[in-house]
């Protein structure tokens, strides 16, 4: 007899008479902000607080944010440090006068906290997700010693120019657990690239966390027309020191194995830069090495608030491929370099996020805290 | 060495004294030893294959008000579980959990989310546990959960009167017209009562089982409903037959109790539907309910056609059968957990089964001195049962959407 009740439940429009309708809760969000620091004691802290006690960088999100903070120490990596933590390897001279740059990478299984309180059984390079951001210079000889301490076969497949035997696919550098392989090739072309595991099944190995930045800086001597531009991109040069360079990987995690991501992020931890904004010195230009490695969703995007930027698709040119945009799209494994400055802006908080609202609201958003000088 | 059975010592036939109960200590000791051994030695660790614990969660109550959403969740699964994050409509929202921390198996907690819900639209709440497992809960139509208020109670009571009390009263008003009923008419009316009660029994059981499926797994919904219905049936039969099979006013009272319990469960479900947003209850539906339930009054009147009840009896019967609908709607609108409604409906089902048995017994006795169930099905009785079932089925169409 009560089927009417269930049937009526599916109705989207209501035949409510006047009075009840006015209780609609449209003003909730702005007035009640529940700032909650420290995941494990959230109830004691979580008394509804007035907006005055909420950190200013969080007020922009209202109550629409994950609760608590991630234990970076237990994870073994800190998303704020990852931004500027380039792995440059060790340099040796080769007999022919060229430079040999050697990286050592290990694969290991590791449970990481990808959002406050949410553990994810990841597969990692050097114990972090994303893996170490490798940085080399155009023309160098690269040697990557890869040891697999994980429970599954893994490899390193570099986006770059190399021979078939160094490709990191099955039969060409896929390493069984406990084994080792040395990839060797020249650093070219210059640009903003990535490496990732190419063992099968591919989607699983990727979304478990096996990817990282692979940046090849242009050699100024090879680009006489754009020497200064090339110098500014060359890590360690005085021209490069003027820039504030950030390594960002847009990734996501499917925690319940339903083929859809529960958490989206820039550098793994949902909302990490919303809770701890990235400090930007106003006077210095900003360069972001951005990679999209989001699995399951075909594209991701980057939108900057209150500003426009030049974009170098894949970073393989010294002149922008897109000028004056505030939004770019990247398909899976697409990447590029963003250059912009807040020199003319007033100091303050500037948001950046994917412009797929769904990704934003599931964790992929952050803030630049533009300050006069870094103290 | 052949043992002659005759040589065995005779088993004592003397009633054992309280000392014998001391032997209960023996199985108790074995049980405790087994538990201790299992906990100490952990011989089952070979089964732990690294798989995460099985998690399960049921949302039992959903409250929408000016502070946002509040949901009462019950943890199931193999171990205590932790809610790490909460999404509403695929966006993470801050939340407060009371009590905080892990939720033990079978325990409940309230989760409050300051979410600006939108009147009349659907929302989905997703709980993400610390292992990354997700549990969805749909709010099909967001409406403010009714609060206890004078005007609200009155309008709910009016609805209860129309659904519960009025139809029973109208049915009872047929009493004067039916008084002169002959034997065949009497048989027909009693059989019709059996028919309508049979409809209610099936309907109530199905509703109870459906609600039980929405309840947390620890309650083992279907088993719970069947057991409670059986116990309710047996208890009422035992109570009813203390002085022989009930007849006349006593039987009418039992029918009223059975229908009343059914209406209470029905009221709970109607109230819950209001709380959950099924507010589009039109006048047509309410009248449908009224019509549907009129036969209940005739059923109550049937056993007392040959006695002389007083007016106060009629009032009492109408309130007993219809009144619980009002209380049910009041309670149900406060968003009670589904297992309570399932329990109420199951008790009602047991009560209806009891009166079916008693009315059938009365029907059998009216044919010959010995209750002979084989001869009940004469044309009048069959016609009555068929009419009762058909009437209930057809009028139920009015309230189906």
DSSP character string of B130-198: TTS-EEEEEESS--PPP---HHHHHHHHHHHIIIIIHHHHHHHTTHHHHTT--HHHHHHHHHHHHHHHH
Strand partners, A194: A213
Place B282 in a pLDDT band, splitting at 50, 70 and 90. Answer: low
What angle, rounded to 10 degrees, do the helices at B183-214 and B248-275 form?
30
For residue B97, list chain A residues with Cβ-Cβ distance below 8 A.
Answer: 42-43
Residues B181 and B111 in one domain: no
Residue A12 lies in a domain: no
pLDDT of residue A85: 96
Nearest-angstrom CA–CA distance, A126 and A111: 13
Q: Which residue has the tokens 């004067």?
A: B176
Residues B123 and B191 in one domain: no
Residue A26 lies in a domain: no
Residues B199 and B67 in one domain: no
B284-303 tens-digit pLDDT: 667 777 787 788 888 888 88
Flag the least confident range among A191-195, A258-262, B259-263. Answer: B259-263
- Number of residues written out for chain A: 375
pLDDT of residue B44: 74
Closest CA to A245 of A364, A120, A86: A86
pTM: 0.78
Does the distance separating the beta carbons of A42 and B67 come in below 8 Å? no
Do the beta carbons of residue B68 and residue B117 sit within 8 Å?
Answer: yes
Domains of chain A: total: 1
Residue A35 lies in a domain: no
Do the beta carbons of residue B278 and residue B141 sit within 8 Å?
Answer: yes
Long-range contacts of A88-93 (CB under 8 A, 24+ apart): A88/A135, A88/A136, A88/A235, A89/A134, A89/A136, A89/A142
What angle, rounded to 10 degrees, do the helices at B338-365 and B221-240 form?
40
Per-residue pLDDT at A220 exceeds 60: yes
Nearest-angstrom CA–CA distance, B139 and B152: 22
Which sign does the torsion angle of CA B275, B278, B279, B282 carry? Answer: negative
Residue B201 lies in a domain: yes
Does the distance separating the beta carbons of A12 and B94 come in below 8 Å? no
Q: Which residue of A has its CA nearest to B269?
A: A2
Average pLDDT over residues B13-37: 82
Does the distance separating the beta carbons of B100 and A26 come in below 8 Å? no
Does the distance separating the beta carbons of A362 and B87 come in below 8 Å? yes
Nearest-angstrom CA–CA distance, A311 and A322: 5
Q: DSSP 3-state assignment of A301?
A: strand
- Of B93, B115, B139, which residue sits at a domain end? B139
Does the distance separating the beta carbons of A65 and B92 come in below 8 Å? yes
Closest CA to A2 of B72, B389, B263, B347: B263
Nearest-angstrom CA–CA distance, A295 and B60: 35
Residue B190 lies in a domain: yes
pLDDT of residue B173: 87
Nearest-angstrom CA–CA distance, B329 and A2: 13
**Minimal CA separation from A135 to chain B, in Å:** 33
Do the beta carbons of residue A295 and residue A260 sit within 8 Å?
Answer: no
Residue B212 lies in a domain: yes
Does the distance separating the beta carbons of B92 and A64 come in below 8 Å? yes
Whether A53 contacts chain B with CB within 8 A: no
B44-83 tens-digit pLDDT: 777 767 777 788 889 988 889 888 999 999 998 778 899 9
For residue B270, list chain A residues with Cβ-Cβ distance below 8 A.
Answer: 2, 5
Q: Is the peptide bond before B34 cis (omega within 30 degrees of 0)?
A: no
Residue B144 lies in a domain: no
Residues B128 and B259 in one domain: no
For residue B272, list chain A residues with Cβ-Cβ distance below 8 A.
Answer: 5
CATH code assigned at B103: 2.60.40
Residue A176 lies in a domain: yes
Q: DSSP 3-state assignment of A197?
A: coil
Instruction: Tell me how far the alpha carbon of residue A95 is from its chain's centroid.
Output: 38
Nearest to A117 among B82, B272, B289 (CB): B82
- Selected for mutation to probe chain A from B116, B136, B206 (highest A CB count within 10 Å) is B116
Residue B8 lies in a domain: no
Q: Which residue of A has its CA nearest to B100?
A: A43
Q: DSSP 3-state assignment of B305?
A: coil
Does the distance separating the beta carbons of A20 and B279 come in below 8 Å? yes
Nearest to A118 among B132, B203, B207 (CB): B132
Planar angle of CA A359, B75, B336, nearest 5 degrees:
100
**Minimal CA separation from A263 to chain B, in Å:** 9
For residue A23, list chain B residues with Cβ-Cβ distance below 8 A.
Answer: 65-66, 119, 144
Does the distance separating the beta carbons of B94 and A255 come in below 8 Å? no
pLDDT of residue B9: 61
Residues 238-297 of A with CB under 8 A from B: 253, 255-256, 258, 262, 270-271
For residue B119, list chain A residues with Cβ-Cβ distance below 8 A.
Answer: 14, 16, 21, 23-24
For residue B66, list chain A residues with Cβ-Cβ distance below 8 A.
Answer: 23, 25, 28
Residues B204 and B259 in one domain: yes
Closest CA to B104 of B134, B73, B125: B73
Place B304 in a pLDDT band, splitting at 50, 70 and 90. Answer: confident
CATH code assigned at A176: 2.60.40.420
Per-residue pLDDT at A333 exceeds 90: yes
Strand partners, A186: A141
Place A138 in a pLDDT band, splitting at 50, 70 and 90. Answer: very high
A63-112 tens-digit pLDDT: 889 999 999 999 999 999 999 999 999 999 999 999 999 999 999 999 99
Average pLDDT over residues A110-138: 96
Domains of chain B: total: 2
Nearest-angstrom CA–CA distance, A275 and A36: 11
**Minimal CA separation from B170 to chain A, in Å:** 20
Residues B132 and B162 in one domain: no
Residues B167 and B116 in one domain: no
Residues B130 and B170 in one domain: no
DSSP per position, B52-73: PPP--EEEEEEEEETTEEEEEE
Place B367 in a pLDDT band, splitting at 50, 70 and 90. Answer: low
Residue A11 lies in a domain: no
Strand order in the sheet with B108-113: B57-65, B68-75, B108-113, B96-98
Residue A52 lies in a domain: no
Instruction: Tell me how far the alpha carbon of residue B393 is from its chain's centroid.
Output: 21
For A177, residues 6+ apart whose C-beta sits below 8 A from its C-beta are A148, A149, A150, A151, A152, A153
Do the beta carbons of residue B73 and residue B218 sit within 8 Å?
Answer: no
Closest CA to B318 of B301, B332, B302, B305: B301
Place B320 in a pLDDT band, splitting at 50, 70 and 90. Answer: very high
Residue A242 lies in a domain: yes
Buried b (16+ CB within 10 A) or exposed e, B84-108: bbbbbbebbbbbbbeebebbeeeeb
Average pLDDT over residues B143-156: 81
**Minimal CA separation from B267 to chain A, in Å:** 10
Q: How many CB pairs under 8 A join A and B?
A: 194
For residue A253, list chain B residues with Cβ-Cβ distance below 8 A.
Answer: 132
Question: Burial of B199 by CB count in 10 Å (0-12 exposed, 13-18 middle, 19+ buried)?
Answer: buried
Place B374 in a pLDDT band, splitting at 50, 70 and 90. Answer: low
For residue B99, list chain A residues with Cβ-Cβ distance below 8 A.
Answer: 43
Residue B362 lies in a domain: yes
For residue B91, list chain A residues with Cβ-Cβ distance below 8 A.
Answer: 64, 358, 361-362
pLDDT of residue B16: 61
Residue B39 lies in a domain: no
Does the distance separating the beta carbons of A24 and B279 come in below 8 Å? no
Residues 124-163 of A with CB under 8 A from B: none
Q: Which tokens in the block code for residue B226? A: 């069947």
Nearest-angstrom CA–CA distance, A235 and B274: 65
pLDDT of residue A132: 97
Does the distance separating the beta carbons of B280 and A11 come in below 8 Å? yes
Strand partners, A113: A119
Per-residue pLDDT at B348 exceeds 90: no
Long-range contacts of B233-238 (CB under 8 A, 24+ apart): B233/B349, B233/B350, B233/B351, B233/B353, B233/B354, B234/B350, B235/B350, B236/B350, B236/B351, B236/B354, B237/B354, B237/B357, B237/B358
Residues B217 and B362 in one domain: yes
Residues B120 and B191 in one domain: no
Residues B177 and B253 in one domain: yes
Residues 171-210 of A with CB under 8 A from B: none
Residues 5-44 of A with CB under 8 A from B: 5-16, 20-21, 23-29, 32-36, 39-44
For residue B396, list chain A residues with Cβ-Cβ distance below 8 A.
Answer: 1
Residues B324 and B394 in one domain: yes
- The kind and range of the H/E element at B223 are helix B221-240
Nearest-angstrom CA–CA distance, B105 and A301: 42
Residue B38 lies in a domain: no
Place A38 in a pLDDT band, splitting at 50, 70 and 90. Answer: very low
Nearest-angstrom CA–CA distance, A168 and A205: 13
Residue B391's domain comprises 150-398
- Residue A33 zone, left/alpha/beta (φ > 0; ψ -120 to 50; rest): beta
Backbone angles phi, psi at A291, to 5 degrees: -125, 140
Residue A3 lies in a domain: no
Per-residue pLDDT at B323 exceeds 60: yes
Closest CA to A29 of B141, B69, B125, B127: B69
Mean pLDDT of chain B: 84
Question: HEC states along B354-377?
Answer: HHHHHHHHHHHHCCCCCCCHHHCC
Does the distance separating the beta carbons of A8 and B280 come in below 8 Å? yes
Number of H helices, E strands in chain A: 11, 21
Residue A111's domain comprises 72-371
- Selected for mutation to probe chain A from B63, B65, B84 (highest A CB count within 10 Å) is B84
């Amino acid at each position: 007899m009560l089927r009417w009740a269930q049937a009526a439940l599916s109705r989207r429009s209501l035949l409510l008479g006047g009075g009840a309708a006015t209780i609609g809760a449209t003003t909730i969000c702005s007035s009640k902000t529940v700032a909650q620091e420290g995941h494990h004691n959230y109830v004691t802290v979580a008394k509804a607080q007035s907006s005055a006690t909420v950190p200013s960088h969080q007020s922009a999100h209202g109550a629409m944010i994950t609760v608590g903070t991630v234990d970076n120490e237990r994870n073994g990596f800190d998303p704020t440090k990852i931004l500027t933590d380039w792995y440059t390897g060790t340099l040796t001279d080769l007999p022919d006068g060229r430079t040999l740059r050697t990286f050592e990478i290990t694969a290991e299984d590791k449970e990481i906290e990808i959002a406050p309180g949410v553990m994810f059984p990841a597969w990692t390079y050097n114990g972090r997700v994303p893996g170490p951001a490798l940085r080399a210079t155009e023309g160098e000889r690269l040697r990557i010693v890869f040891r697999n301490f994980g429970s599954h076969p893994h490899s390193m497949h570099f986006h770059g120019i190399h021979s078939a035997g160094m490709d990191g696919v099955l039969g060409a550098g896929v390493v069984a657990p406990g084994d080792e392989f040395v990839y060797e090739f020249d650093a070219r072309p210059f640009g903003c690239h990535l490496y990732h595991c190419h063992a099968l099944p591919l989607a699983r190995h990727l979304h478990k966390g096996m990817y990282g930045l692979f940046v090849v800086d242009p050699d100024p001597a090879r680009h006489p027309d754009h020497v200064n531009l090339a110098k500014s991109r060359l890590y360690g040069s005085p021209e490069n020191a003027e820039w504030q360079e950030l390594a960002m990987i847009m990734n996501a995690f499917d925690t319940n194995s339903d083929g859809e991501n529960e958490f989206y992020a820039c550098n793994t931890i949902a909302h990490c830069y919303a809770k701890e904004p990235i400090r930007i010195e106003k006077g210095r230009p900003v360069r972001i090495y951005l990679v999209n490695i989001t699995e399951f969703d075909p594209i991701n995007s980057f939108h900057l608030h209150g500003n426009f930027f030049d974009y170098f698709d894949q970073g393989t040119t010294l002149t922008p491929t897109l000028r004056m945009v505030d939004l770019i799209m990247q398909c899976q494994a697409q990447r590029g370099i963003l250059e912009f400055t807040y020199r003319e802006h007033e100091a303050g908080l500037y948001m950046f996020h994917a412009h797929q609202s769904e990704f934003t609201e599931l964790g992929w958003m952050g803030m630049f805290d533009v300050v006069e000088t870094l103290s | 060495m052949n043992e002659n059975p005759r040589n065995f010592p005779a088993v004592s036939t003397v009633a054992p004294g309280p000392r014998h109960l001391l032997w209960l200590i023996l199985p108790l000791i074995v049980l405790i030893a087994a538990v201790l051994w299992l906990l100490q030695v952990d011989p089952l660790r070979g089964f732990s294959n690294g798989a995460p614990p099985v998690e399960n969660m049921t949302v039992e109550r959903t409250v929408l008000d000016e502070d946002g959403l509040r949901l009462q969740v019950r943890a199931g699964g193999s171990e205590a579980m932790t809610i790490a994050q909460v999404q509403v409509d695929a966006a993470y929202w801050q939340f407060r959990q009371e009590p905080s921390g892990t939720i033990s198996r079978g325990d409940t907690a309230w989760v409050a989310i300051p979410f600006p819900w939108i009147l009349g639209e659907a929302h989905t709440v997703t709980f993400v546990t610390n292992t990354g497992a997700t549990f969805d809960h749909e709010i099909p139509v967001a409406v403010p959960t009714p609060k206890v208020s004078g005007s609200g109670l009155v309008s709910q009571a009016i609805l209860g009167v129309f659904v519960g009390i009025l139809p029973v009263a109208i049915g009872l008003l047929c009493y004067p017209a039916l008084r002169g009923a002959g034997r065949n008419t009497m048989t027909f009316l009693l059989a019709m009562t059996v028919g309508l009660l049979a409809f209610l029994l099936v309907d109530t059981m199905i509703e109870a089982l459906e609600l039980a499926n929405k309840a947390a797994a620890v309650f083992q919904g279907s088993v719970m409903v069947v057991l409670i219905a059986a116990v309710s049936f047996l208890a009422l039969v035992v109570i009813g037959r203390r002085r022989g099979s009930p007849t006349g006013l006593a039987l009418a009272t039992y029918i009223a109790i059975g229908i009343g319990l059914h209406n209470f469960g029905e009221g709970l479900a109607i109230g819950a539907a209001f709380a959950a947003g099924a507010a589009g209850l039109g006048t047509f539906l309410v009248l449908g309910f009224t019509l549907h339930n009129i036969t209940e009054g005739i059923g109550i009147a049937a056993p007392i056609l040959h006695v002389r009840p007083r007016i106060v009896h009629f009032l009492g019967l109408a309130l007993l059968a219809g009144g619980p609908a009002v209380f049910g709607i009041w309670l149900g609108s406060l968003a009670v957990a589904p297992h309570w409604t399932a329990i109420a409906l199951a008790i009602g089902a047991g009560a209806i089964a009891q009166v079916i048995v008693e009315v059938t017994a009365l029907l059998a006795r009216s044919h010959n001195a010995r209750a002979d169930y084989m001869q009940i099905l004469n044309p009048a009785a069959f016609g009555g049962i068929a009419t009762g079932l058909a009437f209930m089925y057809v009028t139920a169409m009015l309230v189906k959407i």
